[in-house]
Chains A and B, each alone.
Chain A
């Protein structure tokens, strides 16, 4: 009995840990989708950049806090460049065009990292050591606590930002109705830029936190990003809270599936989940109903 419970908890912990990264990725998608109605297929590359850059900067001799800080700040700049070079020029284009251009951007980012840093797999030392913590019969890595803790802080901070600060409300206003927001004096171009920067840093942060556990390489972005997108859709595209719940759900289901059914198909589980959701609950768990106006 105890062994079963311990095993269940083990899967739960690892699921929630990786789910926290998916939640951050999902938040990133939501931020950009709300600001521009674009699904940024390059979101996963920001996560990858966070991981790879933290390794690069720390190996270059920089003190860890600085290395990590840069690993979050540089992707923010990349995000802004993405907005300027890929999104602005095609604003208002067909969905297919937008999807393809962000895919193109993700290829460019990934390719450049591959050229610059190679195809190797890298790791970061855990932030506070490797000694596992015993909890309710299962082991928890200290790094997991970092992931969960920092992610929770970020989610709360973003929630506060959007609800109580003027700029946050301005961003929300832009997402509801860009024209109206412009008319009341909100600089919507700036809002778009900020949302990309924010989305990139949030994603990169997730990548930084996760690297000590799951390692990083030039191509981790694809799956992480896609799973984050699954989380965003599961929770209801455009809904911040939904994104977090969705991301966690995806992580947990993946871990449970890998543990109880088959670890070979672990990566397929989020996609089976999204097909399921798209067919039966296309607006997601927290999404509402909507009809096309003709």
Chain B
């Protein structure tokens, strides 16, 4: 039974393997790479929002930390880019762990505000410490060399990011299908029930927050190394909202929903690139429509609709 969950992963891997040959030119390869990067970030964020039922309105802050670690540490301190990735993830993890304990005593709107505040503060630090970060205009990133070869071509990056995605999906599938994952979902369903069943609710919330933050940081580093340049807008509020939109629209508590949301909503700004104001309106309208008509997101709603159509068998029987 547990092998069935790998079927979708196998299909995904196959698709990713074949895709580069189907893409007409490097513009599309670049777009797909950006999609895949977002996929991993959103996967991590969904663990927090969809599965564990928490919220983070400042997740782009963690992306920013990872990105700037990859920029600042090699440029200003001579670190090897690979070590900088690890450092970025470590800093993010520690920060998330420190802030999580007090933050997750809060619920609902208070929690949302706290994460929002955190994200804004991070973005502001990145923007203001111009001496270190290059300020609002950003800074260039020292490229990464893997085994002596500089990582620079689109195809190489595609391979890296696609591998990361497959690995992430595998890890998440395992995690959610385990006692840990079940406890997480139970936490979302009913905190008192999970508490009395022995789930250390606070520790679980902290763990998943740290995990999703590190996913974001890692992909922030990848973005920095891929693009070759970082700007503070990576960490800003709108980016955090974009990430939340991807989770919410694609499907809360759905691994493949996250992927769908990331793919669709990475493509959207491209389509609207000349219509900045309209892009904002579109995002807003999508968010609103999703919440009203598909509060659980595309993939779960489609899945529910599909199951209803097939055989509405109802185990309802009179309890005798």
| Chain A residues within CB distance 8 Å of chain B | 39, 85-86, 89-90, 93-97, 99-101, 103-116, 218, 222, 226, 229-230, 233, 237, 264-265, 267-268, 271-272, 274-275, 278-279, 282, 294
Contact = CB atoms under 8 A, between A and B. Distances in A.
Contact of A294 (B113, B128, B192, B286): B192
A282 to B, nearest CB: 6
B235 interface: no
Contact of A107 (B102, B120, B275, B284): B284
B280 A100 contact: no
Interface residues of B, number: 47
Which are the 10 A-B pairs with shortest beta-carbon distances?
Answer: A107-B284, A104-B287, A111-B280, A111-B281, A115-B277, A114-B277, A108-B284, A271-B117, A104-B288, A95-B108
A257 to B, nearest CB: 13
A237 B245 CA distance: 26
Contacts of B276: 114
A226 B117 CA distance: 9
Contacts of A111: 277-284
B291 A233 contact: no
Nearest to A42: B284
B224 to A, nearest CB: 23
Contacts of A294: 192
B120 A103 contact: no
B114 to A, nearest CB: 5
A90 B295 contact: yes
Contact of B287 (A94, A100, A113, A114): A100
A89 B281 contact: no
17 contacts: A39-B109, A86-B292, A90-B291, A94-B53, A95-B107, A96-B248, A103-B244, A105-B288, A107-B280, A108-B281, A108-B288, A111-B279, A230-B113, A267-B124, A271-B118, A282-B105, A294-B192
Contacts of A89: 292
Given A95-B107, A104-B284, A111-B277, 17 more contacts: A85-B288, A90-B292, A94-B295, A99-B109, A100-B248, A100-B291, A107-B284, A110-B280, A111-B282, A111-B284, A112-B281, A268-B120, A268-B121, A271-B116, A271-B121, A278-B103, A278-B110
B62 interface: no
Contact of B117 (A93, A106, A275): A275
Given A100-B244, A111-B280, A278 B288 contact: no
Interface in B238-275: 241, 244-245, 248, 275
A106 B292 CA distance: 16
A97 B292 CA distance: 9
Interface in B13-70: 49, 53, 55, 57
Given A115-B281, A274-B114, A96 B53 contact: yes
Contact of A93 (B49, B103, B241, B291): B291
Interface in B284-311: 284-288, 290-292, 295
B257 to A, nearest CB: 15
A100 B192 CA distance: 25
B117 A101 contact: no
B112 interface: yes
Contacts of A267: 120, 124
Contacts of B110: 233, 278, 282
A222 B241 CA distance: 12
A272 B278 contact: no
Contacts of A108: 280-281, 284-285, 288
A104 B116 contact: no
A160 B116 CA distance: 35
Nearest to B130: A264
Given A90-B292, A93-B291, A115 B124 contact: no
A272 B248 CA distance: 28
Given A90-B292, A104-B288, A275 B53 contact: no
B226 interface: no
Contact of A97 (B117, B280, B286, B291): B291
B127 to A, nearest CB: 9
A104 B117 contact: no
B109 A86 contact: no
B283 A107 contact: yes
B237 interface: yes
A101 B292 contact: yes
B167 interface: no
B94 interface: no
B124 A265 contact: yes
Contact of B114 (A99, A113, A265, A278): A278
A272 B295 CA distance: 32
Interface string B156-174: 0000000000000000000
B281 A107 contact: yes
